[in-house]
Amino acid sequence: MSEFPAADELLSIAIPVAREAAATARRMRAEAITDVQTKSTRTDVVTAADRAVERQVVVALRTIRPYDGVLGEEYGEYTAGPGAVRWILDPIDGTVNYLYGLPAYAVSLAAEVDGVVLAGVVINAATGDEWTATRGGGAWRGGRRLRCSNRTDLSQVLLGTGFGYDAKRRAHQGAVLAQLITRVRDIRRIGVASLDLCSVGEGLLDAYYEKGLNPWDHAAGGLVAAEAGAVVGGLEGAPPGLDMVVAAPPAIFGPLHDALVELDAAGGA
């Protein structure tokens, strides 16, 4: 018998923890943004709220399930043994939107066992919109089961993407995008990878790709997209990861994948 709880049990732990985290992020923004510091580059910011929300989630998870691991964006990893649950957290995905007050920033929380994401929740803290998924149990928003778009023609695709914080990486990403934009309906850059992936699950975007995402950016949203019928992967058969995350309806994944390979989208800095 497995020693970890079923996917729906993990989701039922994740949802209230993520809701309280979203409430903290929203409240801290309303009160004032404090202690804005930079991380990898001068435009990669972290606020007191990113750190406070992560600490709150870690404390909540460790109170409920003390032997699990947690991988969070701001404080790194509390390791757990093999076969244990690992929670993957972005306390605020879309920190630049948060800083400016654009109403798209999210708490993203997933539960993974042995490298397989079993449950995930993404909450847009600014609006309260919530997406959930369990492996094999579908993707949901507000009691509605989600299906990704049924688009079949790349030239009709509304395509989401994002950019890293490093200028050299951005230069390459911009060059790839300059080519791709002529082959699709249009491009969106929402600034929140987890919401981009949930948007693919809901059909608000047809497809999405980005190089340089970390597990906390794509674990929960990737499960939402996949459970809504999208293909979520990397390039040339690789799993989604730092080199590339692509999420697209089955008929679009191949043509988009091939265009990304042709344009060397996983290359550059």
Which spans of this chain sit near Ca ion (rule: CB under 5 A)?
73, 90, 93
Binding interface with ligand IPD (CB under 6 A): 90, 93-95, 162-164, 191-193, 210, 212-213, 217
Smallest distance, ligand IPD to C-beta of residue 107, A: 11
| CA proximity to 205, closest of 248, 236, 250, 171 | 248
Helix (H, G, I), strand (E, B) or coil at 32: coil
163 binds, among ligand IPD, Ca ion, none (CB under 5 to 8 A by kind): ligand IPD
Return the number of the residue (130 or 217) whose C-beta is nearest ligand IPD: 217
68 binds, among Ca ion, ligand IPD, none (CB under 5 to 8 A by kind): none
Smallest distance, ligand IPD to C-beta of residue 83, A: 29
Return the number of the residue (49 or 266) whose C-beta is nearest Ca ion: 49
Smallest distance, Ca ion to C-beta of residue 241, A: 17
- Rounded CA-CA distance 136/210 in Å is 25
256 binds, among ligand IPD, Ca ion, none (CB under 5 to 8 A by kind): none
**What single string gives the DSSP state of each residue in 41-70?**
STT-EE-HHHHHHHHHHHHHHHHH-TT-EE
Smallest distance, Ca ion to C-beta of residue 37, A: 13
Return the number of the residue (94 or 203) whose C-beta is nearest Ca ion: 94
**What single string gives the DSSP state of each residue in 77-143?**
EE---TTSEEEEEEEEE-HHHHHHT-S--EEEEEEEETTEEEEEEEEETTT--EEEEETTTEEEETT
Q: Is there a contact between 205 and 160 (Cβ–Cβ < 8 Å)?
A: yes
Return the number of the residue (73 or 210) whose C-beta is nearest Ca ion: 73
Which helix (H) or strand (E) element contains residue 10?
Answer: helix 7-31
Number of CB atoms found within 10 A of residue 176's CB: 21
Smallest distance, ligand IPD to C-beta of residue 172, A: 14
Return the number of the residue (90 or 129) whose C-beta is nearest Ca ion: 90
- The residue sitting closest to ligand IPD, measured at its beta carbon, is 162
Q: 258: which residues sit within 8 A by CB, 6+ positions away?
A: none
Return the number of the residue (80 or 89) whose C-beta is nearest ligand IPD: 89
